[in-house]
Amino acid sequence: MTTLIEKLAGVPPDSKLGAALKVRAEVLRLSEAAHDAVLVPREPGGLSHALRAALAARMCRHVGNAALVAHYEGYLAHGGDAEVAPLAHPGGSIGDPRRDAMARHADMLTLAPRQATRGDIEALKAAGVSEPDIVRLSELAAFVNYQLRVIAGLTFLKEVEGR
């Protein structure tokens, strides 16, 4: 089975990098399982599947990966909650303090995690985000940033091997 990372990185299977990916098949399998755990968890808490897809698309727009944006837009379209769609775009808000605060936090986690302080977590709590949801949101943002970097890294390595 081809995982999402392999599909989007497009590494030729018969290349040396393709062979390396076969050696790391378990890493790819676990990465796919992590994707499912943050995007479509059995217990979503206060982050609906649609909200998760919208925030993932928003973060991928920040980093500029159009293929991954399209992937998460697909999840959003099937998420059954069109209300959160504006959150899929940087700067987008829906007038709901709790979910708008989560979107702003996803922006910070993607763009400038080094600037994070206790105040960012206090702001989420003040906006009504529960502590379990703060952890769920952090895992979602952290995973998407991992995935963006694995795909970007593979794309550069693929280009070098093709030179």
Query: Minimum distance between the CB of residue 158 and other proteins, rounded to whole angstroms?
Result: 9
- Torsion, CA 3, CA 46, CA 113, CA 71, rounded to 10: 30
Cα–Cα distance for residue pair 1/113, rounded to 1 Å: 34
For other proteins, the closer of residues 64 and 74 by Cβ is 64
Query: Minimum distance between the CB of residue 52 and other proteins, rounded to whole angstroms?
Result: 11
Residue 71's nearest CA partner among 90, 91, 56 is 56
Residues that bind other proteins (CB under 8 A): 15-17, 19-21, 23-24, 26-27, 30-31, 33-34, 37-38, 41-43, 45, 62-64, 109-114, 116, 118, 120-122, 131-132, 134-136, 138-139, 141-143, 145-150, 152-154, 156-157, 159-161, 163
Residue 37's nearest CA partner among 135, 149, 148, 154 is 135
Instruction: Give 93's Cβ-side CA count (13 Å radius).
Output: 11
For other proteins, the closer of residues 24 and 78 by Cβ is 24
**Which one-letter amino acid corresponds to residue 72?**
Y
Query: Minimum distance between the CB of residue 82 and other proteins, rounded to whole angstroms?
Result: 25
For other proteins, the closer of residues 23 and 95 by Cβ is 23
